[in-house]
Structure 1
Amino acid sequence: MRIGIVVDSACDLPKDFLTENGIIVMPITLRFGELTIEDRRDPLETQTFYASHLDRKSEDFAESIPYSVEQIEKLFLERLVLDFDYVFCLTITSTRSPIFDHAMQASRAILTKYKEIRRQAGVPERFGLAVISTRNLFTGQAVPVAEAVRLIRQGGTPSEIGARLKHCVEHTHTYLVPADLFHIYKRASKKGDTSLSWGSYTLGSWLDVKPVLHCHRDLTSTVDKVRGFETGVGQLFAKAAQRIEAGLDAPWICISYGGSPAAVSRLPGYAALAARAAENGVEILVSPMSKTAAVNVGPGALSLAFAASGHTTH
């Protein structure tokens, strides 16, 4: 059985990983005033974007526009129902984007129209589709996707993979340290994120105090405050190394950075984290933070996620 994976471009995975595993990316369109840009997870485009757009700080400057119901339906009916026999569509949390709802609406039409398309192409008629909200953001979306890749490689059936992904989604934890508080306070707050108050924004800007944000099961909150970006990142890497030792539910640590991924290995604590991962058969996937993510959390931010049942933020 040919099993495929579809994600939206907010999913922070390396381009090579996406390409090698045939993962289909639904672009998200970003609008800056009169200018529109597609977030396609192209590394060079992303680095250019960081340099040319994220230094502008107008509260109403940017918005993101996900694939519509019609665009998702077209993608499946023109391509995916022929390329695959079963597809997992894993989206960013439905509390931050309508793309999960769009995919659910599109799936109803897809499942009523695919048979004739496959019949005309001489392909066995049976086709299946599962739309799953990862209930998370950025690298937190990446962890279940990476796990789906692993399970497909092992020859898992759709039902086995689906059950495993639901467990992974429920136990994925994402942490983020921003370098610039403006974008979180001004832009993410517009989407209902109250994890950074006006007082915290003002004080943090004066004293270089960074919030450590945590996302789990659709909810984002501030779980710590640290002096300086590198201090926060060092603490995240140490937490991840400890969690590897305690046990993960999936052998992945996903990291994204709002700058060059090559800089991640030079940040405090990364070498120790990489050593611990290698000792325990855990793979670290480092990618550029998506344009969509960076619009909301600012340039230079770092996100890290893993799946671990029983994990607490303290």
Structure 2
Amino acid sequence: MTTLIVDSACDLPKSLIEKAHIRLLPATIIYDKQSIQDQRDPETTIEIYASGALGKGHSSETAPTSAREIERILQALIDAGETDLVIQTVNRVRSPTYENAVEAVSRITKRHTNKALSVRLQDSRTIFTGQAVLAAHTIALINKGVSGTKLRRVIDLLSSKVHAYQVPKDVYYLRARARKKGDNSISWLGAVLGRMLQISPIVLALDDQTFPVTKIRGFNRAAETLFKHTIEQVNKGLLSPFVGVSYAGNPKELNTLPGFVELKRAVKAKKYQLIVSPMSLSGGVNLGPGTLSVAFATEPYQW
């Protein structure tokens, strides 16, 4: 049986992770001089968002899973009898996790040359809810008996077609985080005006690229626009039956956003599956509390 391993930036609910026996590569979250490993525990995640520790006026950072830690996790799985491992990471442009995994896999495979062992590493080419869609699709294929080269080929093809959208709640926060990483694409003036005018961008991550597709005045209106857009794509038909939604806060608050209830109905009517979870703490640190993310897989199109 193939074992799927994802990093903790993948916005899957804990219940699905446990049911599908998915293993985690936990990132380290550093905030207010504290550090924890993100194990995607919903109660802990929601508590940290509710505390305001990731908000303005607080210092927060993320650190990817190191090569040595990934190697330790893989070795523990092998020691437990696992011989077919598939690792999917957040896209390599956004995080060094993939490169750390390359190093770890190299050491592991050299150590076990005489063993019937398969370790496949995949760059998901996506982030957050996009990773969730890809992981859920992977598990569905594994449950149907798909494995090896065929599994990798199907998922590699799908990964370039996963559309992962984000609606940050605070453009000023987003600019401050981007500047820490040397990204000056959001100007100071643009961030200030964005906050004053309550402008919310809708940002798309697709095939290792991230770019804004539109700007809407008001977070709730932007969320409604994204939900309506997703409903249109759902009704047209998707390449995967999974739609991911995450929120950098308590997911119960999604029910107060216009368009979310209608999205749930549309997904159910198509007999697709809606995957809802708190956004990873890595996502919250980089995009800000209150950020909404929605993902689905379809052929590339113009917004």
Q: TM-score surpassing 0.5?
A: yes
Q: Distance in 1 between matches of 2:163 and 2:181?
A: 20
Q: Which residue of 2 aligns with 1:213?
A: 203
1:34, distance to aligned residue in structure 2 (A) = 2.9
CA shift digits 1:269-303 (9 cap, x unpaired):
11221121112121110000111110111111100
CA shift digits 1:179-214 (9 cap, x unpaired):
122331111343355553323211111011111111
CA shift digits 1:37-80 (9 cap, x unpaired):
2211011110111122123435xx22211111111111111224
1:225 equivalent in alignment to 2:223: no
Compared CA separation, residues 156 and 149, structure 1 to 2 (3 A): same
SS in 1 for 2:169: coil
Which of 255, 266, 283 is equivalent to 1:293? 283
Tell me which amino acid in the other structure corresponds to 2:33.
E
SS in 2 for 1:187: helix
Which of 123, 132, 135 is equivalent to 1:142? 132
TM superposition score normalised by structure 2: 0.95
Give unmatched runs, 5+ long, in structure 2.
none
The answer as to whether partners of 2:54 and 2:60 remain within 8 angstroms in 1 is: no
Q: Distance in 1 between matches of 2:120 and 2:198?
A: 44
Q: Distance in 1 between matches of 2:228 and 2:184?
A: 27
1:81, distance to aligned residue in structure 2 (A) = 5.7
Q: Distance in 2 between matches of 1:258 and 1:102?
A: 26
Tell me which amino acid in the other structure corresponds to 1:216.
L
Tell me which amino acid in the other structure corresponds to 1:92.
V
Q: Distance in 1 between matches of 2:184 and 2:206?
A: 15
- Poorly superposed stretches of 4+, deviation over 6 Å: none
1:164, distance to aligned residue in structure 2 (A) = 1.0
Q: Which residue of 2 aligns with 1:120?
A: none
Aligned length: 302
The answer as to whether partners of 1:259 and 1:288 remain within 8 angstroms in 2 is: yes
The answer as to whether partners of 1:77 and 1:114 remain within 8 angstroms in 2 is: no
The answer as to whether partners of 1:258 and 1:294 remain within 8 angstroms in 2 is: yes
Q: Which residue of 2 aligns with 1:16?
A: 15
Q: Which residue of 2 aligns with 1:57?
A: 57
Alignment of 1:66-215 (within 5 A): 66-80=64-78, 82-114=80-112, 125-215=115-205
The answer as to whether partners of 1:54 and 1:298 remain within 8 angstroms in 2 is: yes
Give unmatched runs, 5+ long, in structure 1.
117-124
Compared CA separation, residues 192 and 223, structure 1 to 2 (3 A): farther
SS in 1 for 2:244: strand
1:252 equivalent in alignment to 2:242: yes
Q: Distance in 1 between matches of 2:34 and 2:147?
A: 44
Tell me which amino acid in the other structure corresponds to 1:110.
I
Alignment of 1:297-312 (within 5 A): 297-312=287-302
Q: Distance in 2 between matches of 1:127 and 1:165?
A: 20
Tell me which amino acid in the other structure corresponds to 2:89.
T
Q: Distance in 2 between matches of 1:109 and 1:241?
A: 45
Q: Distance in 2 between matches of 1:265 and 1:151?
A: 31
The answer as to whether partners of 1:195 and 1:221 remain within 8 angstroms in 2 is: no
RMSD: 1.6
Aligned sequence identity (%): 32
1:236, distance to aligned residue in structure 2 (A) = 0.8
The answer as to whether partners of 2:172 and 2:192 remain within 8 angstroms in 1 is: no
Tell me which amino acid in the other structure corresponds to 1:175.
Y
Q: Distance in 1 between matches of 2:229 and 2:185?
A: 21
1:89, distance to aligned residue in structure 2 (A) = 0.6
